[in-house]
């Protein structure tokens, strides 16, 4: 009896394994033969390419900085992060990316079209960077990351406001208050030798500097490379320095 029961249990387990494997293989084959899914993966992969390009351009190496940067893309959510820094522990991110998939027929007509969540694993350091595309998405909720403010559309408003008040620090501060900028934008004002310097910073690489003199107001947006770590800071004193309006040497 015991042998018979054991054989029955083992047989049941074997059938369950076969069923699970079969289901997994069917799912794999089904997805492999889904042009719309393939198109969605391609679209999502291009978005991850851009995320990784920003990592490199912004000289990122800390886990929290990677998470913050990736999360600024509206189509990208960070599900998990492990590690602390690129060169010590390495950092691994799992991203869920919205990919837009389209299947086009031989006659050019759209057969199928949909958005799909595609997941990617990024292994950043400590020696090499690797990426796994179209992995199974974990059930984790996205990490909550605040969206950076933006200085888009501020230039003309700022110049007009500063032109009207002249190099008076109190008047400049009042003019900035009247602009009703996003409270998340960091504002700095300093006065020196009859001039007023202004710095508006929405993010490390989103910076607007202004210099107000008796001749009016000048605005300058430092280039991305000029705001890299170790280069210029987005500060009002820079607006009053000899670096204002110049490129890197």
Mean pLDDT of the chain: 89
Residue-level pLDDT at 33: 80
Q: Does 18 reside within a domain? A: no
- Domain shared by 47 and 97, yes or no: yes
Q: Does 2 reside within a domain? A: no
- Domain shared by 120 and 42, yes or no: yes
Contact 60, 69 (CB under 8 A): yes
- Domain shared by 44 and 122, yes or no: yes
Q: Annotate 75-113 with b (16+ C-beta within 10 A) or e (fewer).
A: bbbbbebebebbeeebbbbbbbbbbbbebeeeeeeeeee
pLDDT band at residue 3, thresholds of 50, 70 and 90? very low
Q: Does 246 reside within a domain? A: no
- Domain shared by 170 and 129, yes or no: no
Query: Which of 135, 168, 186 is the last residue in one of the domains?
Result: 135
- Domain shared by 120 and 54, yes or no: yes
pLDDT band at residue 32, thresholds of 50, 70 and 90? low
* Domains identified in the chain, total number: 2
Q: Does 168 reside within a domain? A: yes
| Mean pLDDT within 65-94 | 97
Query: Which of 74, 100, 135 is the last residue in one of the domains?
Result: 135
- Domain shared by 129 and 41, yes or no: yes
Residue-level pLDDT at 74: 95
| Mean pLDDT within 115-133 | 97
Q: Which residue has the higher pLDDT, 62 or 8?
A: 62
| Mean pLDDT within 188-206 | 96
Residue-level pLDDT at 111: 86
Q: Does 9 reside within a domain? A: no
* Residues 204, 231: Cα–Cα separation, whole Å: 11
Query: Which of 72, 104, 135 is the last residue in one of the domains?
Result: 135
pLDDT band at residue 108, thresholds of 50, 70 and 90? confident
The CB density around residue 21, as the number of other CB atoms within 10 Å, is 10
- Low-confidence winner among 12-21, 85-94, 147-156 (lowest mean pLDDT): 12-21
- Domain shared by 185 and 115, yes or no: no
Write out the residue range of the structural domain in which residue 209 sits: 155-239
Q: Does 95 reside within a domain? A: yes
Q: Does 17 reside within a domain? A: no
For the chain, give the secondary structure using H, E and C: CHHHHHHHHHHHHHHHHHHHHHHHHHHHHHHHCCHHHHHHHHHHHHHHHHHHHHHHHCCCCEHHHHHHHHHCCCCEEEEEEEECECCCCCEEEEEEEEEEEEEECCCCCEEEEEEEEEEEEEEECCCCEEEEEEECCCCCCCCCCCCCCCCCCCHHHHHHHHHHHCCCHHHHHHHHHHCCCCCCCEEEEEEECCEEEEEEEEECCEEEEEEEECCEEEEECCCHHHHCCCCCCCCHHHHCCCCCCCCCC
Give the angle 137-124-115 at the CA atoms, nearest 5°.
30
pLDDT over 70 (residue 19): no
- Domain shared by 131 and 39, yes or no: yes
Q: Does 115 reside within a domain? A: yes
pLDDT band at residue 248, thresholds of 50, 70 and 90? low
- Domain shared by 41 and 126, yes or no: yes
């Amino acid at each position: 009896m015991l042998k018979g029961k054991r054989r029955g249990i083992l047989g049941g387990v074997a059938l369950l394994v076969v069923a699970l494997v079969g289901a997994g293989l069917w799912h794999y084959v089904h997805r492999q033969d889904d042009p719309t899914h393939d198109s969605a993966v391609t679209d999502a992969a291009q978005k991850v390419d851009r995320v990784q390009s920003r990592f490199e351009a912004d000289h990122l190496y800390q886990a929290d900085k990677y998470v913050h940067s990736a999360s600024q893309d509206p189509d990208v959510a960070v599900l998990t992060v492990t590690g602390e820094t690129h060169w010590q522990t390495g950092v691994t991110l799992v991203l869920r990316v919205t990919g837009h998939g389209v299947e086009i027929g031989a006659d050019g007509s759209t057969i199928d079209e949909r958005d799909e969540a595609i997941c990617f694993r990024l292994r950043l350091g400590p020696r090499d960077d690797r990426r796994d595309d179209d992995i199974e998405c974990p059930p984790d909720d996205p990490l909550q990351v605040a969206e950076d403010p933006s200085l888009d559309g501020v230039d003309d408003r700022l110049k007009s406001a500063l032109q009207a008040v002249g190099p008076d620090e109190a008047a400049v501060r009042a003019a900035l208050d009247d602009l009703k900028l996003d409270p998340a934008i960091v504002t700095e004002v300093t006065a020196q030798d009859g001039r007023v310097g202004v710095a508006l910073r929405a993010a490390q690489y989103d910076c607007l500097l202004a210099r107000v003199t008796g001749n009016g107001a000048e605005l300058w947006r430092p280039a991305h490379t000029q705001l890299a770590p170790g280069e210029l800071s987005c500060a009002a004193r820079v607006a009053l320095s000899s670096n204002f309006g110049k490129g890197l040497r």
